[in-house]
Structure 1
Amino acid sequence: MATTKLAGNPVQLAGEFPGKGSAAKKFVAVKQDLSEFSLEDFQGKRKVLNVFPSIDTDVCATSVRTFNKKASDLENTQVICLSFDLPFAHKRFCGAEGIDNVVTGSLFRSPDFLKDYGLLIEDGPLKGLAARAVIVLDENNTILYAEMVDDITHEPDYDAALAAL
């Protein structure tokens, strides 16, 4: 069982966080229009999975904004921002912020995602939500880079993630 921190306090996570070289597990997420998409929908593209607790927190919002800005310069790459927020929250945030270079996905129909990726927070005030992580996949969904942020209140290492591409 992995751990991370929330504002310096230990947090237990369920599942096992995947490492570099392993195959990404399949999942389904819900777009802002309530249609579903899967990892296979981006076959042949490199993918950056930006996983976070809630788009309505400062650090999570910053990660979506930052990846949106950086995604405009990436070739053959899709940034996918994933959380348990409802699609309505993603739509509201992205509309207000002019976010259009990333795909947002709600995991509310995919409760197994967090355990499959070792990111389910099991205790503390964010119990049931996702720990913060960035996972970079190649065109065949092999993991090129995997970072679980050491403290949920910290931003991921954007440059290291994108360098893996």
Structure 2
Amino acid sequence: MQTTMFKGTTVKLVGDELNVGDKAPVATATGVDLNDVEVGGAKDRIQLIITVPSLDTATCAAETRKFNEDVNNLDICETTVISMDLPFAADRFCSTEGIENLSVASDYINKDVSRAYGVLMDDGKLKGLSARAVFVVDRSGTIVYKEIVPEVTAEPNYEAALDAIKGAR
């Protein structure tokens, strides 16, 4: 069982705990067009899978904007930001913020991605939302980088994630 922090309070995470070297499970979220969005598994591109509690927070919005800029020149990478926001709100966020270089998806229906990647917060004020986490998955479907941000209100290590993408095969 993993944990994270929300403003200094310990929060238990539930789901399957994954580590570098594990196979990234295939899981499905809902895209802004209400179609399924599948992450994980082997693909022809490196995957950057990012989970955030809600795009409607300053930290999540800043993180999504930063990754949108950073992955602009990385044509080897498929980036998906997954939150618990409704697809309509996520679509509005992307339109308002000019998010064009990555996809956003919602895990609100069954929380499949959050459970499969072990980032579903199980208690506290943010119970039922995803922890802030970053996974890089190589083309074979193996996790080559994982960061569960220790304090959910803080931003991830962008440089480490980008280095992992550049080093992945």
TM-score, L = length of structure 2:
0.92
Partners of 1:66 and 1:94 in 2: CA distance: 13
Deviation at 1:41, TM superposition (A): 9.4
- Cα distance, 1:60–1:117 mapped onto 2, change above 3 Å: same
CA RMSD, aligned part only?
Answer: 1.5
What does residue 59 of structure 1 align with? Answer: 59
TM-score, L = length of structure 1:
0.94
Task: Say whether the 8 Å CA contact 1:49–1:136 is kept in structure 2.
Answer: yes
- Indicate the SS of the match to 2:10: strand
Partners of 1:112 and 1:80 in 2: CA distance: 14
Percent identical: 39
* Consecutive unaligned residues in structure 1, runs of 5 or more: none
Task: Say whether the 8 Å CA contact 2:29–2:113 is kept in structure 1.
Answer: no
Which runs of structure 2 are paired with 1:1-165 in the superposition (5 Å)? 1-39=1-39, 43-165=43-165
Partners of 1:13 and 1:39 in 2: CA distance: 20
Partners of 2:101 and 2:42 in 1: CA distance: 14
Partners of 2:125 and 2:138 in 1: CA distance: 34
- Indicate the SS of the match to 1:82: strand
Number of aligned residue pairs: give it. 165
- Cα distance, 1:124–1:15 mapped onto 2, change above 3 Å: same
Partners of 1:22 and 1:86 in 2: CA distance: 30
